[in-house]
C-alpha cells in the first residue's frame, strides 16, 4: 500500500478555504524545499553531473521511495550548491512556492553543519538578508532563518553556533536548531551549545521524537530546554510525556506527509496529530521538505481534513502557528488581525 490513510471525503468548499487561508510555516528546510527544477538549474550553472539525463528524469527521482533515497536526494540538492549566490537563487524559488500556498511568514531551517566550510559565512548572511527583503517587497512574505546542527556531526556544533550568532546580530537568524540522524546522536551531546545559545538570547528548537521515541523528546526538553519540538509525534507512545506536553503547551511542529513517507506513521493509520490534539497538545502544521515528500503546506491541511479534522480544528491549528512563532507580540498582532479578517469573510 502506498497511499496515505483517508477516511473522510471533503467538500470543495472546505478545500477552497484551506487553499485560500493565509498561513504560517515554522518547520521547513531551505535545502529540502528545493525542487527538481531548481536543482536542475543549479547543476547546469555549476557544471555538476546529476544521475539524470533530463529534467523529467530528475523529477521522477523526486518520487519518494525510502529514507535512504530521501537522504540521497537531499545530498544531491546540497551538492549542486557551489557558490553563495546559489542561496539567492534557492531563496527566490522558495518564495515563489510559499506564495503559491498563501504562506505569509516562515521560519526556515538551514543545514548549517554541512555548508559552513564550503561558503563564505558573511556572504551567505548578506544574501539571506537580501532574499528576505526581496520576499517582503515582492510577495509580502516575511522570512527568518534557523540554522541547524546536523546531529551526526556534533563536532560542528560550536562553529554552527558562531555562525548563528553572526546572523542573529544582523536580525536574519532567530534561533538554533538540531536536525539530521536522531538514532545514536541523543540531545545531551549538544547541551553545551544550547546553554550558550540560550544565554545569548537565541530561540532554541530541535527535531526529536521522529525516528526515536519518547526519550528523545524528553532529552530535547530536559537537556536542551527547547521552546518548540520538531515533529515530536512519537510522544503518543508515552502517556506521561503526552500529559507533560499538554500541561506545558510546548508547541510541536508536526509534518504529516514527512512522517508517512519516513514510516514514522504507518500508511494505513490516521496521523498521530489526532491523538496529540485530543490530548490537548499544542500542535502546528508544517511541510518539512515539501518537494521531497510530494507535499506543500496546503496539502498538509487537506490531508488532515481527509482524516476527519473539522474546519474549526484546522483553523485553530493555523492560529496556533502565529502563537508558536518567534515573532514579537506586536508582530503577532498584525497576523492575528489578518487571520481574523479571513475567518470572518469565509465563516459567515
Per DSSP, the residues of 58-123 read HHHHTS---HHHHHHHHHHHHHT--SHHHHHHHHHHHHHHHHHTTEEEEEEEEEGGGTTTTS-HHH
Cβ closest to Zn ion, residue 86 vs residue 288: 288
Give me the least distance between CB of 230 and Zn ion, in Å please: 5
Q: Supply the minimum distance, in Å, between the C-beta of residue 177 and Zn ion.
A: 8
Kindly list the residues in this chain that would bind Zn ion in the complex (CB under 5 A): 288
Q: Which of 13, 14, 2, 1 is nearest to 308 (CA)?
A: 14
Three-state SS for 151?
A: coil
Query: Would you call 155 a catalytic residue per the annotation?
Result: no
The span from the CA of 253 to the CA of 275, in Å, is 15
Q: Report the residue number, 31 or 288, with the smaller CB distance to Zn ion.
A: 288
Spatial separation of the C-alpha atoms in residues 44 and 241, rounded to whole Å: 48
Measured from the CB atom, the residue of 25 and 288 that comes closer to Zn ion is: 288
Cα-based distances in Å from 163 to 131, 189, 196: 18, 19, 13
Quote the cell numbers at residue 124: 551567505
**Residue 214: CB minimum distance to Zn ion, A:** 19
Between CA 58 and CA 36 the distance in angstroms is: 6
Q: Which residue in the shown chain puts its C-beta closest to Zn ion?
A: 288
Nearest approach, Cβ of residue 182 and Zn ion (Å): 11
Catalytic annotation, pick one of 107, 210, 253, 300: 210
Is the Cβ of residue 288 or residue 300 nearer to Zn ion in the bound state? Answer: 288
Number of Cβ within 10 Å of residue 294's Cβ equals: 12
Active-site positions read: 210
Amino acid at each position: 500500500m502506498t497511499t496515505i490513510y483517508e477516511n473522510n471525503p471533503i467538500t470543495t468548499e472546505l478545500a477552497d478555504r484551506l487553499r485560500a487561508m493565509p498561513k504560517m510555516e515554522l518547520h521547513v528546510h531551505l535545502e529540502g524545499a528545493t525542487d527538481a527544477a531548481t536543482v536542475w538549474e543549479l547543476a547546469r550553472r555549476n557544471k555538476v553531473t546529476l544521475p539524470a539525463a533530463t529534467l523529467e528524469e530528475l523529477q521522477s527521482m523526486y518520487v519518494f521511495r525510502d529514507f535512504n533515497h530521501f537522504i540521497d536526494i537531499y545530498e544531491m540538492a546540497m551538492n549542486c550548491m557551489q557558490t553563495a549566490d546559489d542561496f539567492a537563487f534557492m531563496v527566490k524559488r522558495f518564495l515563489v512556492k510559499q506564495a503559491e500556498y498563501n504562506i505569509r511568514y516562515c521560519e526556515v531551517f538551514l543545514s548549517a553543519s554541512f555548508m559552513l566550510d564550503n561558503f563564505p559565512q558573511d556572504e551567505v548572511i548578506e544574501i539571506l538578508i537580501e532574499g528576505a527583503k526581496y520576499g517582503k517587497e515582492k510577495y509580502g512574505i516575511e522570512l527568518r532563518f534557523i540554522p541547524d546542527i546536523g546531529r551526526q556531526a556534533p563536532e560542528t556544533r560550536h562553529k554552527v553556533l558562531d555562525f548563528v550568532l553572526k546572523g542573529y546580530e544582523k536580525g536574519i537568524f532567530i534561533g538554533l536548531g538540531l536536525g539530521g540522524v536522531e538514532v545514536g546522536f541523543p540531545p545531551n551531546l549538544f547541551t553545551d551549545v544550547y546553554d550558550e545559545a540560550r544565554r545569548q538570547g537565541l530561540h532554541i528548537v530541535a527535531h526529536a521524537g521522529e525516528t526515536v521515541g519518547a526519550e528523545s523528546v524528553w532529552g530535547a526538553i530536559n537537556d536542551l530546554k527547547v521552546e518548540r519540538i520538531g515533529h515530536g509525534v512519537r510522544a503518543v507512545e508515552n502517556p506521561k510525556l503526552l500529559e507533560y506536553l499538554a500541561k506545558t503547551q510546548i508547541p510541536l511542529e508536526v509534518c504529516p506527509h514527512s512522517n508517512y513517507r519516513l514510516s514514522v506513521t504507518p500508511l494505513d493509520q490516521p496521523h498521530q496529530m489526532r491523538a496529540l490534539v485530543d490530548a490537548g497538545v499544542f500542535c502546528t502544521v508544517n511541510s518539512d521538505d515539501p518537494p521531497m515528500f510530494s507535499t506543500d503546506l496546503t496539502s498538509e491541511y487537506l490531508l488532515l481534513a481527509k482524516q476527519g479534522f473539522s474546519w474549526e480544528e484546522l483553523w485553530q491549528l493555523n492560529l496556533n502557528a502565529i502563537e508558536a512563532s518567534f515573532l514579537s507580540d506586536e508582530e503577532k498582532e498584525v497576523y492575528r488581525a489578518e487571520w481574523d479578517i479571513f475567518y470572518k469573510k469565509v465563516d459567515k
